[in-house]
Structure 1
């Protein structure tokens, strides 16, 4: 049975929660493999809307086991608060599995994140200030705190001491902040141990055994391809690998076990935070996309920057992820435009470029080259098949498919769980 990866093919916020939820009833496990509570998914079930920040979307699907993999960084207070909120709404969260090798976001990671971003001023990256980057930095520097460390006070204390040896020097001497006490951090972290204990597991073993037993496992990425630390618009990126390769390291499964890679594409383009964005709109069209699409970050609450569809980055996402399918979301938002521009290439220093430039400088100077496609005015939210769509909407989807380099197998025509056209089954 298949192991599937589902990820964002733009700068995040493409509607991965809706796509994961659609598949949730058909899979046995849904796994978050990277990122932290800097990523958010909105899932609409009936008249209920759920905002998930750290938990896999599969937690809303009865019978599905949600997993937080080793590649995720976890803020215990956020996780427990999110679980509590779902429990109060009648959602069963008892099946959640949390990797003992996932790294913990500590209070000092959050502090360092916030003071560093303020210190950068105009050069700031646009982080969420939730300690994600500093936690991944600690992981790479081998001074990170893992979930399993909460169950050995001696090891936990040694690791916190090692981390604060350097961080307190930076906080006090560079940023003029008060030093953080080791004992205070240890006490706060130990208070989470008993509450998290029911969920802690060897998730690598569980997932590999599940695949050997012909279970269907869906790996869910946070953020998006263009925010990948290696393959995104560096340095305006996240601190992990949302691309397909991140699923292998972030969940502990081999690449030969992955059978399908599904990219989520919004019918236009958005991003949150700083960084280049060739198709960004600063006019009434951009404001209309933001308003109609409800483009406000699930986790950050920040307005998203909006622009027309960019086929150049879609082709790039297909390449670096090895995408087998696309799920196109929010097609309904484009209803009402007489013509819809689509970026088919860039102009850089007077030359037409059809592939994403690897140079940061070139990408900053890229100007979109647009092709105009006819729009439609018909309400498409009730469409159940591709043939139900207006002819111009069908033509728009087919054009995006041809430009992006992989088949569009599902189309979102509204925010609800049932407002989706399935063209080809993902499983």
Structure 2
């Protein structure tokens, strides 16, 4: 049976922590989509680890970690993360597996990503610049390169050169890239990469039939989904529940629980609509107290009040069984807290989160104001220990969304978690 953990907002909700905790009872931890544009922070034994492409279960002894078919892999970054873990005494031997159907994110893709952002000018997407979009683009146009291709040097080299030639025709002298340099590096990677690569299909089928305890770690979040997010200000993969099934080949009838990760306020990195954003002292306080900097990019995150229109929309697509509310402690020192409960446009209430960016840019947001609790929740581990107003805040969220808040984060450490 599989437990699935998915971001319910625009990412950076704190998925890594709950995955790290749940991985203690998991035998197989999986990523289904995305690449090293994701960033999950985990604090373990006083040490902070940032993982980008590796599943967070890699920090748990005995848990095998699979990077699934729906992911794209930047090979140098893959090796760098493994080396960093091993320097800190984390044993990764025979615990990291890579689907042979993953697409390869080349340095070529990264350079094209940067050129596309420059070309967009003021309308830039605000990507992480990691080449994710161009890699998924070449996958969709059937000109991409898969991990399985890496082990056939002659044809692999031809594919990289052909891909580079196509981009050079498009970008001319603006593209500073020599395919021969990257091909030389892959001559070194090839032998090192081989032991990690597996055929995912029989592996997952065997795990499902053997009732292996599986944990699936979503990357990014629903509002960055290529189909359901704030398009075009999104990532290039399906970040919701659907992406789990296409990226991992799971049996949909073998799902134990789907957990939506919701930060106690809202943040976003990069460009795009953000109706509850606070460009004032409240937003600045959330950013400062919450230490809101992107794990992957280092950019300041945009901050605002919790948007329950977004979370309810996310639930309508991902069908959460429970919610993990993270970073509740960041709100400890606010006199009052607000939550967005309704959007209107031209005086008309909207039934859900709209697709039309022209509408989104001009929505009126209705807020519910709740009293703050003005006392520390840091490190609390029992629901009854929370201040009364903190409990009322949580219960208002539950009532509005219609999903139980089962897990509540009260600090960065893995021990700072309330389980109801």
**TM-score, length basis structure 1:** 0.96
List alignment gaps of at least 5 residues for structure 2. Answer: none
Matched, 1:98 2:98: yes
Q: What is the count of residue pairs matched by the alignment?
A: 419
CA separation in 2, counterparts of 1:417 and 1:290?
Answer: 22
Matched, 1:251 2:248: yes
Partner of 1:323: 320
1:181: how far off? 4.1
CA separation in 1, counterparts of 2:159 and 2:31?
Answer: 26
Partner of 1:231: 228
Secondary structure at 2:174 match in 1: coil
Matched, 1:110 2:107: no
1:282: how far off? 1.0
Q: Deviations over 1:177-215 (max 9, x none)?
A: 256444333222232111111211112321221121111
Instruction: Indicate conservation of the 8 Å contact 1:76/1:104, yes or no.
Output: yes
Question: Which of 355, 372, 378 is residue 375 of structure 2 equivalent to?
Answer: 378
CA separation in 2, counterparts of 1:341 and 1:181?
Answer: 52
1:367: how far off? 2.4
Partner of 1:271: 268
Matches within 5 A, 1:157-196: 157-172=157-172, 176-178=173-175, 180-196=177-193
1:48: how far off? 1.1
1:368: how far off? 1.4
CA separation in 2, counterparts of 1:400 and 1:26?
Answer: 28
Partner of 2:342: 345
Instruction: Indicate conservation of the 8 Å contact 1:46/1:417, yes or no.
Output: no
Matched, 1:391 2:379: no
Matched, 1:408 2:405: yes
CA separation in 2, counterparts of 1:384 and 1:107?
Answer: 45
Partner of 1:302: 299
1:380: how far off? 1.1
CA separation in 2, counterparts of 1:285 and 1:165?
Answer: 50
1:353: how far off? 2.5
1:171: how far off? 2.0
1:397: how far off? 0.2
CA separation in 2, counterparts of 1:311 and 1:422?
Answer: 22
Q: Deviations over 1:313-332 (max 9, x none)?
A: 11011110111111100001
Secondary structure at 1:191 match in 2: helix
CA separation in 2, counterparts of 1:417 and 1:244?
Answer: 25
Matches within 5 A, 1:132-151: 132-151=132-151
Question: Which of 187, 206, 209 is residue 203 of structure 2 equivalent to?
Answer: 206
| Range 151-160 or range 266-275, more displaced | 151-160
1:392: how far off? 0.4
Q: Deviations over 1:89-146 (max 9, x none)?
A: 0011121001111111112111111111111111110011111000000111111111
Q: Deviations over 1:328-358 (max 9, x none)?
A: 0000100011111110101211222352123
1:267: how far off? 0.4
Instruction: Indicate conservation of the 8 Å contact 1:312/1:354, yes or no.
Output: no
CA separation in 2, counterparts of 1:137 and 1:190?
Answer: 25
CA separation in 1, counterparts of 2:385 and 2:17?
Answer: 21
CA separation in 2, counterparts of 1:287 and 1:330?
Answer: 16
CA separation in 2, counterparts of 1:318 and 1:59?
Answer: 28
CA separation in 1, counterparts of 2:107 and 2:369?
Answer: 50
Instruction: Indicate conservation of the 8 Å contact 1:30/1:219, yes or no.
Output: yes
CA separation in 2, counterparts of 1:224 and 1:44?
Answer: 21
Instruction: Indicate conservation of the 8 Å contact 1:171/1:179, yes or no.
Output: no
Instruction: Indicate conservation of the 8 Å contact 1:125/1:236, yes or no.
Output: yes
Instruction: Indicate conservation of the 8 Å contact 2:111/2:175, yes or no.
Output: no
Partner of 2:87: 88
Root-mean-square deviation (Å): 1.3
Q: Deviations over 1:205-256 (max 9, x none)?
A: 2122112111111111111100000010000000001101101111122322
Instruction: Indicate conservation of the 8 Å contact 2:101/2:148, yes or no.
Output: yes
Partner of 1:21: 20
| Range 187-196 or range 392-401, more displaced | 187-196
CA separation in 2, counterparts of 1:53 and 1:414?
Answer: 21
List alignment gaps of at least 5 residues for structure 1. Answer: none
